[in-house]
Structure 1
Amino acid sequence: MNLKSVETLYELKQWLLLNQASNKELYIVGLLIVFALFVVLLTKKYRVPIVVGYVFLGILFSVSIIEQLPFLSDELKEWYGYSVESFDYVADLALAFIAFTIGSELSIRILKSLGKKIALIVVFEAVGAFLLVTGAMLAFGQPFYLALILGSIASATAPAATVMVLKEYNAEGNLTSTLLAVIGIDDAVALAIFSFAEPISLIKASGSGELSIMNAFFEPLLEIVGAIGFGILLGYISVKFIIKIEDKTKKVLTLVATVIGASAVAVALHLSPLITNMCVGFAYRNFAKKNPGVAEDMETMTIPLYAMFFILAGTKIQIMQITKGSFVIIALVYTLSRVIGKVGGASLGATLAKADPKIKKYIGMGLLSQIGVAVALAYTVQRDFVDLPEVGTLVFNILLFTTAITEVVGPLSTKYAVTKAGEIHN
């Protein structure tokens, strides 16, 4: 760093101090958390998924809405936009714990017991959504790089909403067991598809660099293998250490240090933080001789983090853009083609695996929810396409717009599936 850069940083620091930037950011955090409490109260009362409430709260506080308020000065509007953008690290932290949670749901014992049947369903539903969305986007005249990005993100399924419905109604049976296994593995497959698709899209969108077998296949493969190896190794060391600790404070700090540290090292080594933390969670689930005893603490600790993550995700939505007819068409085509790909692919995989008739018929209806990893991947697109912000903004808006739909329809379709399968016992 040269002298001129140091002087510039010093001037920026002085300017931030004089204008009390940290205080203004604290005001915004306090305001959003208070409103998040009201969102929880309302969503619980009317039985709406909390995540939907968070996203809509974020939309109400989006920069595009704040900029239209006539009683705010231009200076306050600029400060608000700057402050919201400065919270990107919250997304990184939340995504790290989301990936860890996904990995902790993957049990080697369950994977072995279900074997070929689960593998076929997962591959066909994930690849089916990927191919159908990509093809639909191309058919509607979208650029190849955008179609490829949206197709790869479409392969992801959110486990949280589905699991909550199954627990709420005490669902038990073949469909329930298969569904739990599929949603546990699905995001791992989606992350692998995205890791191959995104570099290709970036090269095509930027027009810089040549597409070769090296940067289209071997480099993403090396990133995936490296992230898997590092994540499992770090998770193994961490979980062996944590099960020897009795003190609750030490346990929680060990877990937090492991997850955040894994993300930091992964970024430094140019590996995927999502795959790395997913493998850390996988190691915690499968290599511990006894329960580490941190699940409840982590769930409690991450409540405000996830709330801020989804609220801030909502603030990224550009209202003026999503009200355009062209945007609505793209979003609806994406949603419809993803649903057909998921439901059709899952049913085809179950048929080829000779699964029970009720699994063939209803398995796809439990795979529609998409918030979580899909938003995480959209954040990744925003970060990696920093030189092409319009691409990241469009992908993010499409994902949040369609997620708001699937987070309402998804739980309802899951309930319908297990009800028709006769597996509800409440």
Structure 2
Amino acid sequence: MNLKAVTTLNELRHWFLLNQVSNKELYVIGILIVLSLLVAVFTKRFGIPTVVGYVFLGILVSVSVVKKVPLLSQVTKDWYAFLVESFDYVSNLALAFIALTIGTELSINVLKNLGKKIILIVIFESFGAFILVTASMLTLGKPFYLALLLGAISSATAPAATVMVLQEYNAEGNLTSTLLAVVGIDDALALTIFSFAEPIALIKAKGSGHLSLVTAIVHPVIEILGSVVVGLIIGYLSQLYITAVEDKTKRILTLVATVLGCSSLAVYANLSPLLTNMAVGFAYTNFSTKNLGIAEDMEVITIPLYAMFFVLAGTKIKIMQITSVGFLVLALVYTAARLIGKVGGASLGATIAGADDKIKKYIGLGLLSQVGVAIALAYTIQRDFAQFPELAVLIFNILLFTTAITEVIGPLATKYAVSMADEIKK
């Protein structure tokens, strides 16, 4: 680290101390957690999925709304905007634990029984959304690179809302097991599609260059396989220790250390934290000689984390900035094409695979949510397409518009699906 960098860090540290940034962060976190508690009480009382309440709360306390509050000074509004944007690490932590939870549901025995069905459902719903969104964007006359990026992102399904609803209502059964397996494998396939699509889109956006075999195939394959291998190794070692100890403190600290350690290692090695933690969860379930009993520990650890995750997701929905008719048409077409691709593709895949009737009817309803993985991919576009800043802004706005819809109807649709399948435990 050179002298200039050290000087800058010292100045930044002094600025944080001078402005008591840590205290201001505590104020915001405290307010959001208290409001989350009130939301949880309200939604439980009226039988509404809690995640819907969290997202609505996030919309109400979003920067675009707070900036319109006349009682607050401009300095307070600016500080609030700065602090809310600085909480991105909460989303990363929540996604890591969610990935672990999904991995624990991927039992080899379940996959053997449902393997063909799950694979067909994932392929049809992921590529259904990818193809329909890409085609619809091209039909609207949008550039090929934009259509390709939006198509790749649309294939992702955010597992957070689905997992949280299933846990909240203690859902159990064939549909629930299939749904958890599908959302887990779905993200792996979505990351694969995006890894192949992004280099092509970048070359098309630049209008020059050529697509090499290394860029198009080798790098994505290394990232995917590396993430899985690292996760399986760490998960195997972690479950050995958890199996050997009885002390609850050691078990919880081992669990948290594993998730955070895996995430850090994956980021450092340019791997996928999501796939790495999913592989850890898979190792927990399939390599352990006994039931590790981590479900209750996970639930206690993640309740406030998930609450903050969905509230912060809601704060990113900038409803007041969505005014253009052209943008609304683009966003609505994207949303409709993605929903049709997901629901229709999942049902078609289940039908071809000969799945149960309740899976054919309702599996697609649990795949509507998008915030999480899609936003992470949008950040990747913002980084890799730095010379096209307007492209990243447009994609973010489309995703946030879609989020405003899917994060409300998605959890409700998931609850409806498991309810109609009679898999909610009384």
Same fold at TM > 0.5: yes
Report whether the alignment pairs 1:75 with 2:70: no
User: Secondary structure of 2:341's partner?
Assistant: helix
Shift of 1:166: 6.6
CA distance in 2, matches of 1:257, 1:102: 18
* Matched residue, 1:115: 115
Question: What is the letter of the counterpart of residue 244 of structure 1?
Answer: A
Q: Any idea what the Cα deviations from partners look like across 1:326-373, whole Å, max 9, x if unmatched?
A: 332222212211121122222332333344555445443443344454
* Matched residue, 2:314: 314
Report whether the alignment pairs 1:19 with 2:56: no
Q: How does 1:94-133 map to 2 (within 5 A)?
A: 94-133=94-133
CA distance in 2, matches of 1:68, 1:400: 19
Retained in 1: the 8 A contact 2:49–2:412?
no
Q: Any idea what the Cα deviations from partners look like across 1:199-238, whole Å, max 9, x if unmatched?
A: 4445555678643222122111111111111111111111
Q: Any idea what the Cα deviations from partners look like across 1:107-147, whole Å, max 9, x if unmatched?
A: 11111112323322221111111111122122223333333
User: Secondary structure of 1:243's partner?
Assistant: helix
CA distance in 1, matches of 2:119, 2:338: 19
CA distance in 1, matches of 2:205, 2:58: 29
CA distance in 1, matches of 2:115, 2:31: 48
Q: Any idea what the Cα deviations from partners look like across 1:264-302, whole Å, max 9, x if unmatched?
A: 111111111111111111111211111222221121111
Question: What is the letter of the counterpart of residue 229 of structure 2?
Answer: G
Retained in 1: the 8 A contact 2:230–2:276?
yes
User: Cα 1:297–1:361, aligned 2, differ >3 Å: closer, same or farther?
Assistant: closer
* Matched residue, 1:281: 281
Greater shift in the superposed pair: 65-74 or 164-173: 164-173
CA distance in 1, matches of 2:118, 2:132: 21
User: Cα 1:208–1:20, aligned 2, differ >3 Å: closer, same or farther?
Assistant: farther
User: Cα 1:383–1:55, aligned 2, differ >3 Å: closer, same or farther?
Assistant: farther
* Matched residue, 1:93: 93
- The alignment yields a C-alpha RMSD, in angstroms, of 3.0
CA distance in 2, matches of 1:59, 1:212: 43
CA distance in 1, matches of 2:176, 2:318: 38
CA distance in 2, matches of 1:336, 1:355: 26
Report whether the alignment pairs 1:150 with 2:146: no
Greater shift in the superposed pair: 68-77 or 248-257: 68-77
* Matched residue, 2:10: 10
User: Secondary structure of 1:270's partner?
Assistant: coil
* Matched residue, 1:403: 403
TM-score (norm 2): 0.88
User: Cα 1:359–1:2, aligned 2, differ >3 Å: closer, same or farther?
Assistant: closer
* Matched residue, 1:137: 137
CA distance in 2, matches of 1:267, 1:237: 20
TM-score (norm 1): 0.88
Question: What is the letter of the counterpart of residue 31 of structure 1?
Answer: I
Shift of 1:243: 0.9
CA distance in 2, matches of 1:230, 1:341: 33
* Matched residue, 1:344: 344
User: Secondary structure of 1:290's partner?
Assistant: coil
Report whether the alignment pairs 1:220 with 2:217: no
User: Cα 1:330–1:256, aligned 2, differ >3 Å: closer, same or farther?
Assistant: same
Shift of 1:103: 1.4
User: Secondary structure of 2:245's partner?
Assistant: coil
Greater shift in the superposed pair: 398-407 or 84-93: 398-407
Retained in 2: the 8 A contact 1:375–1:396?
yes
Greater shift in the superposed pair: 74-83 or 31-40: 74-83
Shift of 1:414: 4.7
User: Kindly, what percent of the aligned residue pairs are identical?
Assistant: 68
User: Cα 1:383–1:291, aligned 2, differ >3 Å: closer, same or farther?
Assistant: farther
Retained in 2: the 8 A contact 1:231–1:279?
yes
User: Secondary structure of 2:244's partner?
Assistant: coil
Greater shift in the superposed pair: 335-344 or 161-170: 161-170
Shift of 1:71: 3.2
Retained in 2: the 8 A contact 1:95–1:376?
no
Question: What is the letter of the counterpart of residue 352 of structure 1?
Answer: I
* Matched residue, 2:196: 196
CA distance in 2, matches of 1:359, 1:182: 12
Shift of 1:88: 1.8
Q: How many residues align?
A: 426
CA distance in 2, matches of 1:95, 1:419: 26
User: Cα 1:416–1:266, aligned 2, differ >3 Å: closer, same or farther?
Assistant: closer
User: Cα 1:315–1:171, aligned 2, differ >3 Å: closer, same or farther?
Assistant: closer
* Matched residue, 2:37: 37
CA distance in 2, matches of 1:356, 1:97: 30
User: Cα 1:309–1:198, aligned 2, differ >3 Å: closer, same or farther?
Assistant: farther
User: Cα 1:296–1:194, aligned 2, differ >3 Å: closer, same or farther?
Assistant: farther
CA distance in 1, matches of 2:285, 2:192: 20
CA distance in 1, matches of 2:236, 2:380: 27
CA distance in 2, matches of 1:160, 1:235: 21
CA distance in 1, matches of 2:96, 2:127: 25
User: Cα 1:56–1:28, aligned 2, differ >3 Å: closer, same or farther?
Assistant: same
Q: How does 1:378-389 map to 2 (within 5 A)?
A: 378=378, 380-381=380-381
Q: How does 1:284-363 map to 2 (within 5 A)?
A: 284-356=284-356, 359-363=359-363
Shift of 1:255: 0.9
User: Secondary structure of 1:302's partner?
Assistant: helix
**Residue segments in structure 1 that go unaligned for 5+ positions in a row:** none
